[in-house]
Structure 1
Amino acid sequence: MLEASIDQLQQVAERPWQEVPEAVKDGYVIQATGQGAAEMVNRITNEVLPYHGGNIHPRFWGWVQGTGLASDLIAGMAGAVINANTGGRDHGANYMERAVIDWTREKMGMPEGSSGVLVAGTSQATVIAFQAARVRVMPEVRKFGQGSAQLTAYAGEGIHNATRKALELMGIGFENLRLVPLVDGQMDLAALRQQVAQDRAAGAKPFLLVGMAGSVDLGTYDDLNGLADAAAEEDLWLHVDGAFGAWTRIADEPWRSLSDGIGRAGSIALDFHKWMYVGYDCGMVLIADEPAHRAAFAARPSYLEAAERGLAGGDPWFCDYGIDLSRGNRALKVWTALEMYGEEAFGAAISDNCRMASLMAAEVEARPNMRLAASVVSNVCVFTARADLSAEAQSVLNSEIAQALQESGEAVFSTTRAQGVVMLRAAITNHRTREQDITDAIAAVAELAARQV
């Protein structure tokens, strides 16, 4: 199995996404009888490894998916044999998680003493941050519920669905999310203040402001310093959705400055499994006010009482800072990656991804019939393959090109809608991507687009 796994990593460029055959799907049905380890290795090699989601391939730029690292294999073996539950107690995994949290806090520029917890991803991190924000303004909500109180939240148009989903799950309701217009890709601060004043006048209680560090469609960034100023003036909790874009904090200029001000947030949600390339799943929430974080989740029934010595020691316990009591050792793969490759390598890879997005934009602009949806800001490039067609024809063509390139294994673009057109979208969070991959992919797009008459 180890040999097969190493082969997978070494031959990743030769193994793009492919459709799962019906016979393989049928073979996944659980059988009543067991089989030997050798047979299972053979089956996994032939029935599992070839049918991955495609994101490990160097020409995968669909959605925002990370690529995984060789260090994940090393950490995964150790993690499997230790089988740590990191909900609490006194063992090495919890000290390692605290070290990863503290390193991340420092990189984001949050104050010393800020807390955090590793989670499945930004969607879960968002719920945790929003609950801390709600408990701040409604200290008794854990006892009595929200009742008839109308809490309102604010975010720029185009905010990730994680914000809406979190408000729905918490019973606040997505109708109480105010989507503020954007100006040049950033939240209109004047419109924000006007909306907050209107809500207060109507008897609502504004409590949360959500900023974008890397928008899902175009990779744009809010003015985070401006949002921090507005949050302080309006007494709002500032949360930053930095799922992938927060990591420009370790990139070169000019990309690093995109996330200036992020350390002033009350909370940040981010992922290691996106632009830090670590294997799924691994996200984090950081919260500047540790007592507020703990107040939102801490609960210790008698069977979880801490002790001064022994295994029940090791306070603080991470179950007091999030939803999960039973938690896997996510910190191990982050720690292994950082110690193995070094911070500088990650910063260089993130910077290179932004350069690749700029190169893609230049390749698009060099083609007479292609057109960018917007200038590239970070690592996202959105474009149409044939701007000379009607909006409807462009949408059909771009969708067809995306599917055709996925099926051929040449490249993976996703699609998004911009300016009323379904366009091709590349979100480059892939440390395996090289210049040749970019130029070959755009050439393939141009070849397919030329067939449209």
Structure 2
Amino acid sequence: MANDSAKSCGLDPDNWKNFRAEAHRMLETSLDQLQQVAERPWQEVPEAVKESYAVEASGASAAEIVDRITDEVLPYHGGNIHPRFWGWVQGTGLASDLIAGMAGAVINANTGGRDHGANYMERAVIDWTRQKMDMPEGTSGVLVAGTSQATVIAFQAARVRVMPQVRKSGQGTTRLTAYAGQGIHNATRKALELLGIGFENLRLVPLIDGQMDLAALRAQIAKDRAAGAQPFLLVGMAGSVDLGTYDDLNGLADVAADEDLWLHVDGAFGAWTRIADDPWRGLSDGIGRADSIALDFHKWMYVGYDCGLVLIADEAAHRSAFAARPSYLEAAERGLAGGDPWFCDYGIDLSRGNRALKVWTALELYGEAALGAAITDNCRLAALMADEVTAHPNMRLAAPVVSNVCVFTARNDLAPEAQSLLNSEIAQILQESGEAVFSTTRADGLVMLRAAITNHRSRAEDIHEAIAAVARLAQAG
């Protein structure tokens, strides 16, 4: 039924009492979803529901919208809120997001600039994070959609450092080269493409025991310089996508210093071992020596999507890569146009949502110790999964578990092609049944099952039952 209040009173509710009642009902329904999340795994979206999403834009009552969201939206989530979701690297979201989301919606802050509370909160979140990452005081940063955007920002700052005129005149014929270990996340390649550097100028250095071969790295840099290229960027991994491995970040920092390269660390999820217990905390030792770090709060800090961060040690280099203030955005000493520095001078976006609020709310509500304990527990669960896998005679790990990622094949006694087909089929069957969500990746020439555990709701019994389900399907296959 159309809501006549929209015709008579604009876009605010005509009857606040009725709207308040429906908002309360939506809150209770949302709390039910969170409290009963273990009973609500991923499920395929029925065709009728897909069709129901067609936009009619004819106006409806708040009650009708709450009913539709309850029936057509909440049941068909992406699965990552469920305790047995370990596919890809996706965070679970937190109950605190609900509180922060309500406040964020009514404030509706644009954090591109100006003098208001959200910008001061963002600076506080950035400074807390730079301390956890052991970066120097004065380190700059900006909250972004995720590590992919953070990577573009960091690489642009690295490029402007070696080519100060690039924003004005372009890169011209200069051939910049970048270096990363084999298996680096695709965000590095995409950033180089977007900046016009080109992915063919990314050198993929071989690995030794999951870490970049430093001797091979130095040799490649020397070779490129001899060929007339200008090496400018070295990218380290803090938590590789496939196996959760870490580069020797201190070793990379030494190479970067010797070769005058900008050291960037892709710490999308793995940077957060900085607040975990030993031995996992030590995996990211040396990260504070980086010129820039890209990381996500929406992965291994469990905060709701989306929320990433880029940290850049040299604030002047960061600002010089992006600052451009037209006359209509001139700052003032007082009033709303005050509050310098503005975040629009440190990234791509002028219009920016209030991402800091949900991070701040989570940190203040749960505390660093609880979040660090959850990260530590995820690593312990990955080790437990590895133990479960090795206990089955026909299963095999792709590599020892280093952090929170476990990759394995369900039937090592089959031919390679048969193993790949079986592993892929098991992943799909378990997803469709709601028993567990594994993703797949390629290792040793095989398609293997992969669990990336960034889920604060997972428990030991989830690991036991999921591996038992894999074993059951492997034998049936």
Aligned counterpart in structure 2 of residue 107 of structure 1, from 115, 132, 149: 132
5 Å-filtered alignment, 1:317-396, equals: 317-396=342-421
| Cα distance in 2 for residues equivalent to 1:218 and 1:117 | 28
Q: Could you tell me which residue of structure 2 aligns to residue 232 of structure 1?
A: 257
The letter of the residue matching 1:24 is: V
Letter of the 1:414 counterpart? S
Give the alignment partner of residue 20 of structure 1, picking from 30, 37, 45. Answer: 45
Residue 308 of structure 1, CA deviation: 0.3
For residues 48-67 of structure 1, what are the structure 2 equivalents within 5 Å? 48-67=73-92
Unaligned runs of at least 5 residues, structure 2 = 1-25
The answer as to 2:155 corresponding to 1:97 is no
Q: Does 1:176 align with 2:172?
A: no
Which of 305, 317, 323 is matched with 2:330 structurally? 305
Secondary structure at the residue paired with 2:240? coil
Query: Counterparts of 1:3-402 in structure 2 under 5 Å?
Result: 3-402=28-427
2:473 to 445, 448, 451: 448
> Which runs of 5 or more structure 1 residues have no equivalent in the other structure?
none
Letter paired with 1:201: A
* Structure 2: distance between partners of 1:203 and 1:372: 43
C-alpha distance in structure 2 between counterparts of 1:226 and 1:305, whole Å: 44
The superposition leaves residues 212-266 of structure 1 with CA deviations (integer Å, 9 ceiling, x where unpaired) of: 0000000000000000000000000000000000000000000000000000000
The secondary structure found in structure 2 opposite 1:153 is strand
| Identity score, percent | 86
Residues in 2 aligned to 1:26 and 1:129: alpha-carbon distance in whole angstroms: 41
Distance 1:51 1:270 in 2: 28
Map of 2:5 onto structure 1? none
Residue 329 of structure 1: SS of its match in structure 2? coil
1:398-418 Cα deviation digits (max 9, x unpaired): 000000000000000000000
Q: Deviations over 1:148-196 (max 9, x none)?
A: 1100000000000000000000000000000000001000000000000
List structure 1 segments (4+ residues) > 2 angstroms apart after TM superposition.
Answer: none
Report the Cα distance in structure 2 between the residues aligned to 1:234 and 1:296, rounded to whole angstroms: 22
Secondary structure, in 3 states, of the residue corresponding to 1:389? coil
Code of the aligned partner of 2:393? P
What amino acid sits opposite 1:448 in the alignment?
Answer: L
Paired with 1:251 and 1:204, the residues of 2 have a C-alpha distance of 40
Q: Measure, in 2, the Cα distance between the counterparts of 1:143 and 1:404.
A: 54
Alpha-carbon separation, structure 1, partners of 2:287 and 2:209: 19
Question: In angstroms, what is the RMSD of aligned CA positions?
Answer: 0.3
Matched, 1:427 2:460: no
For residues 449 and 383 of structure 1, what CA distance do their matches in structure 2 show?
12
Which letter maps to 1:236?
L
TM-score, normalization by structure 1: 1.00
Larger radius of gyration between Structure 1 and Structure 2: 2
SS at match of 1:48: helix
* Superimposed CA distance per residue, residues 13-71 of structure 1 (whole angstroms, 9 cap, x where no aligned partner): 00000000000000000004111000000000000000000000000000000000000
In structure 2, what is the Cα distance between the partners aligned to 1:368 and 1:191? Answer: 37
The one-letter code matched in structure 2 to 1:114 is: T
| Matching residue's letter, 2:92 | T
Distance 2:399 2:229 in 1: 36
Distance in 2 between the 1:389 and 1:232 partners? Answer: 48
Give the residue type in structure 2 aligned to 1:404. Answer: I
State the distance in 1 between where 2:350 and 2:157 align.
18
Using the size of structure 2 for normalisation, the TM-score is 0.95
The answer to whether 1:439 aligns with 2:464 is yes
The one-letter amino acid paired with 2:184 is I
1:325-365 deviation digits (Å, cap 9, x = unpaired): 00000000000000000000010000000000000000000
Cα distance between partner residues in 2 of 1:29 and 1:97 = 37
How far apart in 1 are the matches of 2:353 and 2:261? 33
Matched residue SS, 1:209? strand
